[in-house]
Amino acid sequence: MGNKAILVPVDGASNIKLEALDYDTLATAHSVVADSPKAERGGLKFNDTGAEFGWFDGAIRAMPAALRDAAVVAPVARGASGGLVGADNSLAEVPGEGLTLAYTQGYPARVDERFAEIAGSREGFFEETGSIRDFPGSLTLLKRFLFEEMERPEVLSRAAGFAHYGALMGGHFFGGDYLAAIRLAGNEHSYWMCHSGARDVRAKPGTPSRAAKKVASFGRLVPAEASVCYRALGQMPEAQARGLGLAGRPRVIAGGHDTCLSHIPVLSTFYQAFPEMAGKPVLQVEAGTWAMIAQVGGAARVPGDGFTRDIIIQGTVDGEPVTTGRYGSGADFTFLKKLAQEKGKGFQRTADPAAIGRFLSAADVFVVPNVDPSLHKTGPFPEARGRIIGEGAFFADAEVAFLATNVMTALAVAQQVDAIAQDASVPIVLTAGGSKDPCFAGLIATVTGRRTYAMFDKDGQAVSETTTLGAAICGKAACLGIHPYKVDTAPLGVRYRRVDALSADVARPLKAYREKWLARVREG
């Protein structure tokens, strides 16, 4: 352990986390997690942002003494959240309560209809912005501003700026000066590339889309200047640092979108491990709360009908386009696990290849994606309303419940893999929770037929938290004044291990099972 740390506060849809990483080695030295605080007011869903920031402060005060010499605070933020900031530097949406509207909030039909008029055809909007016109709620960020104009003009009138969630977090650690954070963060590249509909992805980073120019509040509240998340906003005020028990005054960066940050450790290490792949595309399959299937490197090509199955353009931290397919795998997994525990014998944690083969050969239990109602109209099968076929067997056997869920997730992910990269020679790097599960990893390698790798550190531990690591790399880059890809990641000792595909005895029934599964998915 060196004498300085990088603090990474992580905002997520399901949980929040504080991690401290060693500045020299980038190894994780401390981690604490809690459920994401939420609230409802007046029929609207909110992030309890004030409570979240209070939790981060408490978690920092409770850190071990050896981590208190922090060099930088580098936030991670879920992509489509943000908040209106008043002229008095307060969170302005519900005065005095520290709330920001949740991106899961649904909007009235009149807002959706007006947005469709502004955005134009689904095909044209997708071609220009890499976003899906009809995403629910503020997953298409421009719709959030239109909602404010049409439904909450009195709230909008209090606002002097809008901060994406990373900038809000940066502003908190920058002494509560959200307006300065908004100004200094600019229209941060990777955020503008995520679901927003605000950027013309065919032009240079930061170029507004035609629809963005038609939403007056967006132009008023979001800075026109483009920036990047690996430049420091400034230093934490001395009084705030002292109140948090920190030595010195760490730098603070605005933070980036979670998925965009997760690409950094892969791009920083994969080409070093496989120099023959330099400049060629690789698929990062981040299997966590959301499965994000992203082609990094190479040209970003988007299927013309990608908007029909949740394929979008996200980006690197520099705003370079990244074709990305999504599926809410973690939401379905959690939903199914809870059902199994409530109604049957539970949900097994692991399974060996022989058990997978037995399950596939029986072929009498199938799970259609989007079991969690919040996933309807998303993912590779947006019209599917998830269901369990063979409920009796599913709920009666913990192993069957576990396997049916894992196989469904792998098959849904494979649909997006095939849609994004038709070239079967493009390899896969598994990250997030799925990379630690041999059952899931083997299924992905087998059903896609692609070279599949998982990342491990010098101690043989799976490198699954690539988002946190990416944020730390950005934080260190801000301290050094260099690009994140130039930060030395060698001390991590990252090694790539190829995931073995399942044997032919399992692959054959898996192919047959997939065909039956697809038929049931198409039935709706």
Helix ranges restricted to H, 421-503: 438-448, 466-480
Distances (CA, A) of 362 to 356, 392, 448, 516, 522: 10, 14, 22, 12, 21
Name the strand (E) or helix (H) holding 456.
strand 452-456
- Model confidence pLDDT, tens digit, residues 451-493: 999 999 888 888 888 999 999 999 999 999 999 999 999 999 9
pLDDT digits (tens, 9 = 90+) for 82-132: 999 999 999 999 999 999 999 889 999 999 999 999 999 999 999 999 999
CB 130 within 8 A of CB 400: no
Pick the CATH number of 259-328+418-498 from 3.30.420.40, 3.40.50.720, 3.10.520.10, 2.60.40.1660: 3.30.420.40
What are the structural domain ranges in the chain? 5-254, 259-328+418-498, 329-402+504-522
Q: Tens digits of per-residue pLDDT, 395-419?
A: 999 999 999 999 999 999 999 999 9
pLDDT band of 1, cuts 50, 70, 90: very low
From the candidate CATH numbers 3.50.50.60, 3.40.50.720, 3.40.570.10, 3.30.420.40, the one assigned to the domain spanning 5-254: 3.30.420.40
Q: Are strands 38-41 and 291-296 parallel, antiparallel or unpaired?
A: unpaired
Q: Encode pLDDT of 155-170 as tens digits.
A: 999 999 999 999 999 9
Question: 306-317 pLDDT, tens per residue?
Answer: 999 999 999 899
pTM of the model: 0.91
Tell me what the pLDDT averaged over the chain comes to: 93
Among 413, 334, 378, which Cα is nearest to 104's?
378
d(CA 375, CA 133): 16
Q: How confident is the model at residue 3 (pLDDT cuts 50, 70, 90)?
A: confident
Above 80 in pLDDT, residue 229?
Answer: yes
Provide the pLDDT confidence category of residue 2 given band limits of 50, 70 and 90: low
Q: For the segment 277-305, what is each residue's pLDDT rounded down to a tens digit?
A: 988 999 999 988 889 999 998 777 888 88
Label each residue of 16-45 as H, E or C.
EEEEEEECCCCCEEEEEEEECCEEEECCEE
In 249-318, which residue ranges form alpha helices assigned H by DSSP? Answer: 258-273
The reply to whether 5-254 and 259-328+418-498 are identical in fold is yes
